[in-house]
Structure 1
Amino acid sequence: MAPVDRRMALAREWDDLVARVRGLDGFRDFLRPPPVADLPSPASPDAAVVVNVGRFRCDALLVRDGAVRSVPLPALTAADVADRTARYLRAVGADDGTRDGQDVRDGRDGRDVLAGTLAWLWEAVAEPVLDALGITGPSAAPPRVWWCPTGLLTLLPLHAAGVHDRPGRSVIDRAVSSYTPTLRALGAARAPRTLAPARMLVVAMPRTAGQADLPGAARERALVGEFFPGAHTPLEGPAATRAAVAGALAGHRWAHFCTHGEQNLDRPAEGGLLLADGALTVADIAASTHGGEFAFLSACKTATGGVSLPDEAVTLAAALQYTGYRHVVATLWSVPDAAALWIVDTVYDVLTEGGTFAPDGAAAALHAAARELRAASAPDLSGWVPFAHFGP
């Protein structure tokens, strides 16, 4: 068969297969762009923002009040994104499998790269988007913005974009940020579901074979337990095996992990949480469904995806969302113990201040905690920037 004939035959076979899939219940719109009316559309002043990175142009699609508006981003290019992402990943120690983040915390070059990346994200993406949305300054009740980046931009901290030595010129000064891997995922996260029992699973690994000790893990486990007296299950050290943790997730509505995390930028599904007998991987978590409502991943790189297929959103945070957890707090790189304890303490304090745990306030609680830590640790950015919220 001539090459052109083979291509035509394969194209017909593809069309036939897609038609067969669309004939199945629930797959009518398979591989079709969703109608605007079917997209989750926040009401003003909130908005969802899809940032498209293309070879020829870049735009932001603003989704609000049942409509979609395109905003050109002339200062953003695919080449700049690739270059900035490579330098950022080196600075935070995410490009070579290290987990210490020492470049950012202890190296001036790393800190300069991080600050420069956040300033560039502000000027090229965040500021024009927020200005187009009318979010032009701080407010007592900041609006919500759900970021849905594409391409290599998925690896960068849009929620922390800003010139942080100039008040009001940052995302965190103007809006409460969350991420969603797709707009459909945002809608699915809001859908009703059957929930597991109202208990908190706390997994802590102060020592892990082949890894540096985490002296703050035991303190963090105890701290989280104090917020859930009589309603939490600790799994620590040798007890925190892959089977024990996977089995316990099914019986707990909430989960908190203070462990080492591992990420493979080329094979992100192999990344995971390092437990007593190995890694509980993205693939492991994605293989099950959970009646979860909230997960806090106080482990490094739990919100970092891959470089080969960045649009696939293959992260621990995304895996937990897709398998049933409505709200996920995760990190982009290793976090110092003191910063992690600050964020954890503040988030749970806010979410339990009414006497019961209220995870629907997770985004606002993380926002408040990050602002407090930014003010207390300025000009250091490494403590609060890694934390990100995923969900509605």
Structure 2
Amino acid sequence: MDIDQDGLPYSRGHDMKSLTEARNELLQAFESTSISQLARIRSGIKLFWLLADAFGLDDAAEMIIKTVRIFPRIIPHRIPQELRETILSEFVSRSSTICSIVLHAKRPAAEAFEVLECAKRFMADVNFCTHLNNPQLELDHPRLDDRYEALQVEISQSEDENPLNTESSGPQKRDPVVVNQDIERIEEKIRGLSGFERYRLFPDAKRLQNMIAGDAIIALNTSALGSDALILTEQGIKSIPLNNLKYDDALKQSAIIKSQMLLPANEEQKNEEMRSLLRWLWIAAVKPVLAELNFLQPVVDAKDIPYIWWFTSGILGRAPLHAAGMHDGTEMNCTMDYAVSSYIPSLRALDFSARMSNRDPNVPWNKRILLVSASKSTGENKSHSSRDEAMDIKRIVGWNMKPTILMDPHPAKVLAQIHRFRILHFACNAKSMSNNPSASSFSTNTLPKPLEAVRIAQLYLVNTQLAYISSCAFPDDSVGPVVDESINMASTIQQCGVPHAIGTLWQVQDEFASAMATEFYKNFLGEFDGDVPSHYGKIQESLHLSISNLRKMPRWKDNFLTWAAFIHVGDF
């Protein structure tokens, strides 16, 4: 039975008898034990869209959840390109719509979150060979870990046709029946071990609650089917409808965000557009969520301010949610007045950040900071160069840290030294490639060859805790159409294996980027008199305080293109 390959609606041009035959054929393939896991994923995705379009959302939601739970068995960058492109176009780029379908089918909010998480993990694993997976099995049971990884490779390289591959001179491909039995057998064995009960499964309620070091994780999901907030707290996961968050409005506002990617020609006009966007975000999305969490209370003592993570996804993936608010002078309300915000690209990335941040406390604190700088500014405002920024930071932290400045270094020199440092500060030319995150890079003035993010991802930076990207350009050709993945340099570096990253959502003036960097390091590691400040040595609190201080200054208060751009990615 031929099924339309160009997406929905699958029912176009087919009568119900043909659609029923197609459904039965795909269901039989999905449930078969004699085809590969790759073929099951392919059939599951096709069947999901067919069911959603022609047979009802309940069966469709159940099918996509079953399909999602096969994904941990594959290695995305090793699967055939044809299937990888199918998954990217039919699952990852439509994950917001799929999430809405799961919620409309009255499935648990945790399953809707599982869809978004699976899409984010797949995208990260396509671009990077990440170190984000929990290495505990490798440490405790290395032989089991090796065997499981070997099966993942075998599954990812399997083919539906001619599974035995008898004409090849290389190793013969095993029958999928045998491979499927092996993977199920080893998963059962691993999950029978203490501490590995949820191995390669979406975290259960207890594990999710343990991940909440702050007060809430919030995912905003919007599609043509509606908008919802998925809220994860110690009490569990729930969803609330966001009736004022209209999909068409979100598309228009996301276009405004995209227009900020490069330094604007008309700064005054762009600032007014940003003021309007921040107001819309507050009314349509952020305020209802904070109200649901009972966070819209005046913060009397700074130590009592709530901590939240924004799980970025879909067309609002670049939205400055931490800066949303009423900035028109009549009512001054802003997310920052009620909560300290961080962003996370996935729950797995959050778990990684928490594990790396909570390593053995008896290990001496590495006091080395690497400052990678360009000798000349390439921005429009050259009043404060990257060299000046690096020297200012060295002066601020030098009393307690050991700074090393690399001026216009060759990428090989950075890669050779980077593992020795606890903090990496890039005061050079950063370029974020949204459509191809692994090609995101850093460069300097004297060398045409950039340092690509994928090369950092190939390292295992066990000493590094923070990467600070002072400012970043977002080329026009990297933005592309709106999809269910929005990438910035901070999230890219965090997924390369650095627990914490600070960066920008769009390009910022050199002068303000330097001002923010020096303000941050003063609060984070600067010399102080008297008692240790409560924010000292705390990345998120120091950034929150730095943004708050600069946005109070008359010069920057109404320049939303500056302070609203800076974000933290990682754990608290």
Fold shared by both chains (TM-score > 0.5): yes
Report the CA distance shift for 1:213/1:172 in structure 2 as closer, same or farther (over 3 A).
closer
1:117 paired with 2:277, answer yes
Q: Which residue of 2 aligns with 1:250?
A: 419
- RMSD across aligned C-alpha pairs, in angstroms? 3.3
Most deviating of 161-170 and 219-228: 161-170
CA–CA separation in structure 2 for the residues paired with 1:83 and 1:43:
35
Give the secondary-structure state (helix, strand or coil) at the position aligned to 2:272: helix
TM-score, length basis structure 1: 0.84
1:297 paired with 2:469, answer yes
1:341 paired with 2:514, answer yes
Most deviating of 25-34 and 274-283: 25-34
Report the CA distance shift for 1:111/1:312 in structure 2 as closer, same or farther (over 3 A).
closer
- TM-superposed CA distance for 1:296, in Å, is 0.9
- Structure having the larger proportion of residues in helix: 2
1:264 paired with 2:427, answer no
1:91-240 counterparts in 2 under 5 A? Answer: 92=260, 94=261, 99=262, 101-103=263-265, 106-139=266-299, 140-141=301-302, 142-165=305-328, 166-191=330-355, 192-193=358-359, 197-207=366-376, 215-229=384-398, 231-237=402-408, 240=409
1:321 is matched with which residue: 494, 503, 510?
Answer: 494
- TM-superposed CA distance for 1:283, in Å, is 2.1
- TM-superposed CA distance for 1:390, in Å, is 1.0
CA contact (8 A) 1:207 1:213 kept: no
CA contact (8 A) 2:504 2:566 kept: yes
CA–CA separation in structure 1 for the residues paired with 2:290 and 2:341:
12
Letter in 2 for 1:190: A
- TM-superposed CA distance for 1:190, in Å, is 1.0
CA contact (8 A) 2:374 2:407 kept: yes
The aligned length equals 378
Report the CA distance shift for 1:186/1:168 in structure 2 as closer, same or farther (over 3 A).
farther
CA–CA separation in structure 2 for the residues paired with 1:343 and 1:162:
21
- TM-superposed CA distance for 1:31, in Å, is 7.4
- TM-superposed CA distance for 1:197, in Å, is 4.2
- TM-superposed CA distance for 1:281, in Å, is 2.3
CA–CA separation in structure 2 for the residues paired with 1:41 and 1:148:
13
CA–CA separation in structure 2 for the residues paired with 1:287 and 1:311:
25
CA–CA separation in structure 2 for the residues paired with 1:21 and 1:328:
36
CA–CA separation in structure 2 for the residues paired with 1:281 and 1:190:
25
- TM-superposed CA distance for 1:86, in Å, is 1.4
Report the CA distance shift for 1:130/1:285 in structure 2 as closer, same or farther (over 3 A).
same
Letter in 2 for 1:13: S
CA contact (8 A) 1:53 1:150 kept: no
1:272-294 deviations in whole A, cap 9, x for unaligned?
22233422223222222212111
Q: Which residue of 1 aligns with 2:104?
A: none
Letter in 2 for 1:144: Y
- TM-superposed CA distance for 1:365, in Å, is 1.0
Q: Which runs of 5+ in 1 are unaligned?
A: none
CA–CA separation in structure 2 for the residues paired with 1:213 and 1:243:
29
1:53 is matched with which residue: 207, 222, 235?
Answer: 222
Report the CA distance shift for 1:137/1:325 in structure 2 as closer, same or farther (over 3 A).
same
Give the secondary-structure state (helix, strand or coil) at the position aligned to 2:36: helix
CA–CA separation in structure 2 for the residues paired with 1:216 and 1:293:
26
- TM-superposed CA distance for 1:349, in Å, is 1.1
Most deviating of 69-78 and 3-12: 3-12
- TM-superposed CA distance for 1:48, in Å, is 1.5
1:87 paired with 2:256, answer yes
Considering only CA atoms, is the larger Rg found in Structure 1 or Structure 2?
A: 2
CA contact (8 A) 2:503 2:568 kept: yes
Give the secondary-structure state (helix, strand or coil) at the position aligned to 1:232: strand
CA contact (8 A) 2:434 2:488 kept: no
Letter in 1 for 2:460: T
2:212 is matched with which residue: 42, 45, 58?
Answer: 42
Give the secondary-structure state (helix, strand or coil) at the position aligned to 1:334: coil
Most deviating of 250-259 and 33-42: 33-42
CA–CA separation in structure 1 for the residues paired with 2:331 and 2:522:
26
Report the CA distance shift for 1:213/1:115 in structure 2 as closer, same or farther (over 3 A).
closer
TM-score, length basis structure 2: 0.59
- TM-superposed CA distance for 1:320, in Å, is 2.6
Report the CA distance shift for 1:60/1:253 in structure 2 as closer, same or farther (over 3 A).
same
CA contact (8 A) 2:282 2:325 kept: yes
CA contact (8 A) 1:241 1:277 kept: no
Percent identity of equivalent pairs: 24
Q: Which residue of 2 aligns with 1:350?
A: 523
Give the secondary-structure state (helix, strand or coil) at the position aligned to 1:388: strand
CA–CA separation in structure 2 for the residues paired with 1:82 and 1:385:
20
Letter in 2 for 1:70: S
CA contact (8 A) 1:136 1:174 kept: yes
1:344-374 deviations in whole A, cap 9, x for unaligned?
1221111124679988511111111111111
CA–CA separation in structure 2 for the residues paired with 1:342 and 1:213:
13
CA contact (8 A) 2:523 2:536 kept: no
CA contact (8 A) 2:468 2:502 kept: yes
